[in-house]
Structure 1
Amino acid sequence: MSNVGIVGIGLDKLSVSQGSTALELSGNNFGNMLFTYAAHRQIDKSENVGFRNLDKAIDNNISKLLVPAANWINLKQDWGWLAEEIEQSKLPCVAVGLGAQLESLEEVSQVPEGTKRLLEVIAERSSALAVRGEFTAEVINKLGVKNVEVLGCPSLFSFGKLPKLRPQASNQRIRIGVGPTRYHLHKGNLKDKQQMLYRFAIREASSIYYQSEAYEIKLLSREDLSENEHQLAMSYYGFSNFSFFERALMEKGKYHTNLNSWLVDVAKDDVYVGTRIHGAIAATLAGTPPLLITHDKRTEELAESMCVPSINIMDFELNSLFQIEEIISTLDFAKYLRRAENNFKRFQQFYKVNDLSFKVDL
């Protein structure tokens, strides 16, 4: 019987790697694991085919390609090479979780031609492009591709079933897991709310989840770092003594090369707060209530399409985390789970229409 080829990162090799090597294998963001893992768990008879030499996939009894995508529609990446790979394979191809990382619709004209071609190629070979939210749908429509379906991110259904959240226990000290966003170390700005989140996390939180922060991931893995990197990091976090800083980061800092260990850790938290959508989804899969702080178009549209409990970063005040019980009481987790149920059914239908066997855990 023929198989479905998953076009994505290699989870097996990633799971036995660590530090900067693992970060590179993840596509420089461990959040990429979630939707890649979801594709393998959801689709019956699937196997990884990487990104290159897809024309050889048919020799391995592959009859269809599935692309678990991310925020690929942007101004920096030209995906023409992948469009060519898919064309040369001559196989049907389906994409899920596709997102746009643009500031506004005015930037659509600047999207690389190769990326436009990728959208056209996949749209020609499937019923529709399954995208993260309405903003991405608008972007793709303006690029001339009209068969688009808004489904959110498939990673919420990584185990083929609806997620459940634990009820918040009363009369206890709430353990807060924090997942901010920073791609490069810099001197910082005390008005930067992302930096404020990192400073809060290393002093007050139970856990800090790192997905793409190269310095912290290298430090946690005992890799060599320069004195300048140490000084930048201490300045960013507000430490003057490296021993104190290192001890705090080693105690609370976490990164994960496989989903199971991530879920084990975040299950220990009572609530997850952060600007990472896949941090919020990982928390949900572990039963931990999430609060997503939206900070760009991609997080805003996912919060909307999936009804993730959220607050815009412009409205977020760090001091509110010291009254986290009050915040939790205002969040509509029931709406989040209702939308998840609806999206779950729609994902099942989408896979069925595209002749993909969705493994549902009943």
Structure 2
Amino acid sequence: MKHYLIRAGMSPYENFTPAYEIVHNSIGSNVGNLVYAYSIFRTLTTEDVKLTPDYYKINPNRADYINANYDGYIIPLADAFRPSFAPKLKKYAELINRLTIPVYVIGVGLSIDFEPNLDQSFEFDQDVKDFVKAVLNKSAILGVRGDITARYLTKLGFTEGKDHTVIGCPSMFGFGRDLPIRDTTITQDSMVTINNSPKSPKHVLDFIDRSAHAFPDHYYIPQWLKELRMIYLGGPDLPSKGSNFPYEVAHQLYQEDRVRYFTNVPSWLEFVGEADLSFGARLHGNVAAILAGTPSIIIPKDGRMRELAEYHDFTYLWANDIDDNTNILDVVEKADFQKVSKRAPENFDRYINFLNENGLDHVFKENPNVKNTVFDQRIAKVNYYPAVKSFVACSHEELIGRWQGILEKEKIVEKRKNEKQIAQLQKDITELQEEVKVQEATLNRKSVQFALKTSGLFGNKK
């Protein structure tokens, strides 16, 4: 039995409450992270392989423990090549250099503008180089999300096809080689799901808002951890940027109970699988719809989304092609929702070749569309929470109970944090005391030597 450690905030088998996820941030600040972790778990879990999440802990001092207890370390990443993640890349490089087990990076991307300028230097270039070199010392090849990231690594001196290869997003391959999309009839009476990001340009936010109103039966599916807190507790609001985005709980979407937040993948896929259409500016919000077989339109807002949209051939709409007259029903009429299905087999084969090159076992060896896997059987036994019930549908007693539950969990976390800090301080004090003893012994020894020398000096004068 092989046992792999995997970068993830939670296992798909764990069914955490919304309160737990809020306090412990087991979704890594964005519930979309659960989607690609879910797919990798399903792909790699066999009768002879199990995966255990690292709960996003990066501690180089745990290298000996990891070496002794795991057969490999699987690290799926999103747009990790960015300034805010650079400190973690440094820690990963230090940790990986201490490991003696294989390390596999299954997807990583560059955070960059929609129109990428790869001639420029980035403040994190050296951190990326150190990270990639560390990984390549522990694996055959590194998987990147798209062409933009591949060109970036090539510019840094790494060779495409030897050091790195484009594999897309692993979330797209968890259910096999075929990726069927339903032929739905999309009308104003359709139930649709919407996803959105405040980082989109204002005219895109305006388009998404008016498009939602074209379908009375619409639901907004947020992904940020802060938005989970909003729907669960009724606040606090997000810092408003003055654009057309549901920043506050007073927004119509919240007040009319048209927000659905999912804390696990199975419930999410089940819900979007009932929709006739998904559209918006979130990557995994639309990937979830595609995996559920629902037609999807994604509006990429930056280079990281663009490279994935192009690689997987999503049905996409560029922001530059949207103006005040763009109508969602016109876009739907012209859209080819099946093109992602047509591209899927080719991309899947390339992904499987990547896994094979790294020597990773997987469930698709005999059947590229295998059903009822070990993973599936275990998932079927979990009674997952449905979408989070909105605060607007709660009684005062329920809402008070939620706040009390959050505060209690936060107190426990704070207590553990304080206990850990106290233990570390006690350890530091003990080490300093030992150092003082050594220094005192050294000073005493030198004092004796000085006294003897001085005594000898005066003795000679006599």
Say yes or no: TM over 0.5: yes
Q: Aligned partners of 1:232 and 1:156: how far apart in 2?
A: 33
SS in 2 for 1:77: helix
Identity of aligned residues (%): 24
- Residue 73 of structure 1 corresponds to 81
Q: Aligned partners of 1:327 and 1:137: how far apart in 2?
A: 31
- Residue 252 of structure 1 corresponds to 258
Q: Aligned partners of 2:198 and 2:155: how far apart in 1?
A: 30
Shift of 1:2: 2.2
Shift of 1:161: 4.3
Task: Report the AA paired with residue 38 of structure 1.
Answer: S
- Residue 150 of structure 1 corresponds to 166
- Residue 133 of structure 1 corresponds to 146
Shift of 1:338: 2.0
Q: Aligned partners of 2:249 and 2:31: how far apart in 1?
A: 29
* RMSD of aligned residue pairs (Cα, Å): 3.0
50-59 or 309-318: which moved more? Answer: 50-59
Q: 2:220 aligns with which of 208, 215, 223?
A: 208
Matches within 5 A, 1:309-348: 309-317=315-323, 320-323=326-329, 326-348=330-352
- Residue 273 of structure 1 corresponds to 279
1:38 paired with 2:39, answer yes
- Residue 220 of structure 1 corresponds to 231
1:56 paired with 2:65, answer yes
Shift of 1:171: 6.8
1:86 paired with 2:87, answer no
SS in 1 for 2:71: strand
Task: Report the AA paired with residue 165 of structure 2.
Answer: E
Uncovered stretches (5+) of structure 2, i.e. residues with no partner: 371-462
Residues 35-59 of structure 1, C-alpha deviations (whole Å, 9 max, x = no match): 1111111113131241333542233
Instruction: Give the number of the structure whose alpha-carbon radius of gyration is greater.
Output: 2
Task: Report the AA paired with residue 352 of structure 2.
Answer: Q
Shift of 1:331: 2.4
SS in 2 for 1:177: strand
TM-score for both structures, normalised by structure 2: 0.68
Uncovered stretches (5+) of structure 1, i.e. residues with no partner: none
1:124 paired with 2:137, answer yes
- Residue 297 of structure 1 corresponds to 303
1:180 paired with 2:196, answer yes
Task: Report the AA paired with residue 307 of structure 1.
Answer: D
Task: Report the AA paired with residue 98 of structure 2.
Answer: Q
82-91 or 25-34: which moved more? Answer: 82-91
Report if aligned partners of 1:272, 1:291 keep a CA contact under 8 Å in 2.
yes
Shift of 1:238: 8.5
Distance 1:23 1:260, change over 3 A: farther
Task: Report the AA paired with residue 148 of structure 2.
Answer: F
Task: Report the AA paired with residue 63 of structure 1.
Answer: D
Report if aligned partners of 1:23, 1:29 keep a CA contact under 8 Å in 2.
no
Distance 1:329 1:223, change over 3 A: closer
Residues 35-85 of structure 1, C-alpha deviations (whole Å, 9 max, x = no match): 11111111131312413335422332x212211111001122211101111
Q: Aligned partners of 2:352 and 2:104: how far apart in 1?
A: 14
Report if aligned partners of 1:2, 1:63 keep a CA contact under 8 Å in 2.
yes
Report if aligned partners of 1:77, 1:112 keep a CA contact under 8 Å in 2.
no
Report if aligned partners of 1:130, 1:149 keep a CA contact under 8 Å in 2.
yes
Distance 1:177 1:112, change over 3 A: same
161-170 or 25-34: which moved more? Answer: 161-170
SS in 2 for 1:47: strand
Q: Aligned partners of 2:37 and 2:314: how far apart in 1?
A: 20
Shift of 1:264: 1.3
Number of residues of Structure 1 aligned to a counterpart in Structure 2: 348
95-104 or 160-169: which moved more? Answer: 160-169
Report if aligned partners of 2:186, 2:277 keep a CA contact under 8 Å in 1.
no
Distance 1:21 1:289, change over 3 A: same
1:24 paired with 2:25, answer yes
Residues 190-242 of structure 1, C-alpha deviations (whole Å, 9 max, x = no match): x442255246547846111101162x3222102553xxx48949985589994
- Residue 96 of structure 1 corresponds to 106
Report if aligned partners of 1:197, 1:318 keep a CA contact under 8 Å in 2.
no
132-141 or 38-47: which moved more? Answer: 38-47
Task: Report the AA paired with residue 228 of structure 2.
Answer: I
SS in 1 for 2:84: coil
Q: Aligned partners of 2:125 and 2:354: how far apart in 1?
A: 28
Distance 1:92 1:342, change over 3 A: same
Task: Report the AA paired with residue 171 of structure 2.
Answer: S
Shift of 1:259: 0.4
- Which has the larger share of strand? 1
Report if aligned partners of 2:141, 2:357 keep a CA contact under 8 Å in 1.
no
Report if aligned partners of 1:108, 1:142 keep a CA contact under 8 Å in 2.
no
Distance 1:351 1:236, change over 3 A: same
Hey, which bits of structure 1, 4+ residues long, moved more than 6 A?
238-241
Task: Report the AA paired with residue 9 of structure 1.
Answer: G
84-93 or 106-115: which moved more? Answer: 106-115
- Residue 6 of structure 1 corresponds to 6
Residues 243-288 of structure 1, C-alpha deviations (whole Å, 9 max, x = no match): 966422xx21122111001111111211111111111110011110
Distance 1:140 1:354, change over 3 A: same
SS in 1 for 2:25: helix
